[in-house]
Amino acid sequence: MGDKGQVTADLTAMNWALDKELGSGHFAKVYLVKATEGNPTAEVGTTAACKVIKKPKEAKKRALVTQEFKILKEINNENVVKCYDAFETDDRLYLILELMSGGELFDRIVDQGHFTEKDAQKVTFKLLAALKYMHDKGIAHRDLKPENMLMASKEPNAEVKITDFGLSKFFDEQSSLMKTPCGTPGYIAPEVLHMRGYNEKCDIWSLGVIVYILLCGFPPFYADNDAQLFEKIKKGQYEFLKPYWDPISAEAKAFVKRMLTVDPAKRPSAEELMADPWLGAELASTAELSTSSNVASTQAGLKKLKASFLAAWMVNNMTTSD
């Protein structure tokens, strides 16, 4: 039986019908599936995305791919992609995930062509609440970036959800700090770059970069190459450029500064940030921000930034697996 035949058989046994392939990568394939009669986790006819991961033979790699499997089984939050089902066979892992049909958050902002500080407030609160939920469960995402913020549907009031837990990890306050360097250039926290160990606060930094972009349409850290970019990140070297930040409140700027605190020990937690004055402020201005037009004009650059993954850097610098 071929790969697709085996996948079809495995899914059928768990009351899911395979429809078509949606995409593939180095380690996994994604299929469109539908719930069938007798499915205990979803109504009949529910469409979902099935991520099928072949288990690597090497023990370390196998542990890495099973981490996402274990984490998604633990999560149930309205602003995190829903996992309907997760099961495994001798050689494969199956993740049945909510079908996120609304596209990326930033693409939605460009499409609607109108974005205010109040809109940024609402999105930020939801993402922070999801982050608090994950951190409370001992889960660090470790790769927050715009392409991992998806809209549930095309509807105007669709929820934004955090996706892609491929680099996520369970952490424990009693255990050693996470050490494996991972993330995406532009969003990675300074302490991860220093490779002296880090904790879940790396997610706060990454979300801080995203909030900065939400408010103005371009990233706080940029350079001609990764080496220069990493130096700026380590120093926390960014600014609120005029005229783009002129209409944005002082509270919003203070909020971004708190998230982009270089020292993780001084960087607030998700819970502390949810009580920040900016998120509870009644904003006097309803002016449209430059986010939509700036994101649209720099979209190619953002896509390149998102696609530039740290794989080679990780391989060259990784000394300890966590």
Q: What is the pLDDT of residues 174-217, one digit of tens each?
A: 454 666 666 678 899 999 998 878 899 999 999 999 999 999 88
Residue 316 one-letter amino acid: N
Quick one: average pLDDT of 153-162? 91
Ordered alpha helix ranges (H), the chain: 3-13, 59-74, 105-112, 117-136, 190-194, 201-216, 226-235, 250-259, 270-274, 277-280, 291-297, 299-307, 311-317
- Catalytic residue, candidates 10, 85, 119, 143: 143
Q: What is the pLDDT of residue 285?
A: 58
Write down the H helix ranges in 113-189. 117-136
pLDDT of residue 295: 62
In the numeric block, which tokens belong to residue 219? Answer: 């990233």
> Are 3-98 and 105-317 the same fold in CATH?
no
In this predicted structure, the answer to whether residue 287 has a pLDDT above a threshold of 70 is no
Average pLDDT for the chain? 84
Indicate the CATH number of 3-98 among 2.60.130.10, 1.10.10.10, 3.30.200.20, 3.40.640.10.
3.30.200.20
Q: What's the pLDDT band for 305 if we cut at 50, 70, 90?
A: very low
Separation CA 174–CA 232 (nearest Å):
32
Q: Are 66 and 93 in contact (CB under 8 A)?
A: yes
Residue ranges of the domains in the chain?
3-98, 105-317
What pLDDT does residue 130 have? 96
* Residue 293 confidence (pLDDT): 65
CA angle 191, 302, 65 (to 5 degrees): 55
Percentage of residues in the chain with pLDDT exceeding 90? 49
- pLDDT tens digit sequence for 247-281: 999 999 999 999 999 999 999 999 999 999 999 87
Structure tokens at 315: 């391989």
For the record, the structure tokens of 149 come out as 């913020």
309: confidence class by pLDDT, cuts 50, 70, 90: very low
Using CB atoms within 10 Å of the CB of residue 267, give its burial: 0 to 12 exposed, 13 to 18 middle, 19+ buried: buried
Would you identify the CATH topology of the domain 105-317? Transferase(Phosphotransferase); domain 1 (1.10.510)
Is residue 143 part of the annotated active site? The answer reads yes
| Cα-to-chain-centroid distance, residue 303 | 15
DSSP state of 146: G
User: Distance from first CA to last CA of the chain, Å, rounded?
Assistant: 36
Average pLDDT of the residues in 53-67: 77
